[in-house]
Amino acid sequence: MRTFSASWDADTIGQAPLAQLPWYHHIALMQNVDDPATRLWYASRTLAEGWSRNVLVHQIDTRLHERAGKATSNFPVGTGPGVCLRRPAGAPCHRWGRILR
């Protein structure tokens, strides 16, 4: 048994997402989600976010799986040393190192 546990990391040995959910979460998933892959997605997110059954049902009703990861953003793609995110348009970048000295 020691050899087995030493061969795998803790994340690999743990239970599958569906085995970690309470029974009422399973009922909500079975009643509201037809696609098995989508059902597993909601089960995984429920565990990661710690959703109650009511929150899970709300997320299913609002079709979160279709909206997830599609939010628009006005931030630049990459932020490097020359990018100032908190400044009015056209204003120069401040060098915070000079201010803090």
Whether pLDDT at 95 is above 70? no
Domain that holds residue 20: 15-69
pLDDT digits (tens, 9 = 90+) for 48-68: 999 999 999 999 999 998 888
Report the chain's mean pLDDT, rounded to a whole number. Answer: 76
Specify the number of domains making up the chain: 1
Residue 19 belongs to a domain: yes
In terms of DSSP H, where are the helices of the chain? 2-7, 10-13, 17-20, 23-32, 36-49, 53-61, 64-67, 96-100
Residue 65 belongs to a domain: yes
Averaging pLDDT over each range in 6-10, 16-20, 22-26, 93-97, which range is the top one?
Answer: 22-26
Whether pLDDT at 100 is above 50? no
How far is Cα 17 from Cα 46, in angstroms, rounded to an integer?
9
> pLDDT: is 26 or 9 the higher one?
26
> pLDDT: is 95 or 47 the higher one?
47
